[in-house]
Amino acid sequence: MDGVKCQFVNTNGITLHVAAAGPEDGPLIVLLHGFPEFWYGWKNQIKSLVDAGYRVIAPDQRGYNLSDKPEGIDSYRIDTLRDDIIGLITQFTDEKAIVIGHDWGGAVAWHLASTRPEYLEKLIAINIPHPHVMKTVTPLYPPQWLKSSYIAYFQFPDIPEASLRENDYETLDKAIGLSDRPALFTSEDVSRYKEAWKQPGALTAMLNWYRALRKGSLAEKPSYETVPYRMIWGMEDRFLSRKLAKETERHCPNGHLIFVDEASHWINHEKPAIVNQLILEYLKNQ
């Protein structure tokens, strides 16, 4: 991508691959991707943020693409994932950062905002609830059981990796809609994603984020008192119920929720102009 420079940054005992763009003296925005993406998942947001004067960094999070993939499920507990990002923030700025996260990246962002708010100015969460809402609401809400059933499958060793590799990563491809939505993803995009998934050890590391859940990754109850936030939610998300979004807004008083029609879990790809507008509007007006 034009204007994006990639580098390797040491943080929290590992090395992360980081895409960086924008003026080095601009306010820092950290973009955190989810499963099964990598930094490139923010390709539709980076230029808009840079043009607005922000310094933007988008890491491949621990276990993804070109970043380190430490062995062991315990290496992917959410406290550890949070500390990776704290290390990045402190290397790129002496000020507080704005963190924008989608899916698992949003979970890390929420956790950071709830447990170490001194590092954040604002939070924008895209189609991801507060982690404690996810933990407490899901067992009591059967529709979310069904939406989250794939998480139980991911707990098995080796089998999910084998199935995800089948037919040239067909399952992951279909999850995002890489091949069947040519208006959103070019052939170059498809190649980039599959190259990331093929990195040695990547699939196991990516799945270990889910496997760490059974080892108490979210055992600690983080505070509902967070930094100021905006939550953006595609109404047609087939993985996460709107109830999770509403419950997050109800429990977390320092922000607000915006629903977007005709958008799914992958709203940052489907509605980039709307997402970018909602991000910049919030950052400029709050």
Q: Which residues are catalytic?
A: 103, 210, 265
Query: Could you count the other beta carbons within 10 Å of the beta carbon of residue 121?
Result: 17
**Which H/E stretch holds residue 193?**
helix 187-197
Contact 26, 54 (CB under 8 A): yes
Q: Which residues contact 273 (CB under 8 A, 6 or more apart)?
A: none
- Let me know: does 251 contact 279? Beta carbons within 8 Å: no
CB atoms closer than 10 angstroms to residue 119: 21
Give the integer Cα–Cα distance in Å for 81 and 109.
10
Residue 2 CB neighbour total at 10 angstroms = 7
Amino acid letter for position 270 = E
The secondary structure of residue 42, as a DSSP letter, is: G
Amino acid type, 15: T
Length in residues, the chain: 286
For 177, the token pair is 């809609």
Tell me the C-alpha distance between 161 and 153, whole Å. 11
- Euclidean distance between CA atoms 203 and 272, whole angstroms: 27
Q: How far is CA 245 from CA 119, 122, 214, in A?
A: 24, 18, 23
**CB 211 within 8 Å of CB 73:** yes
140: its two tokens: 């009591």
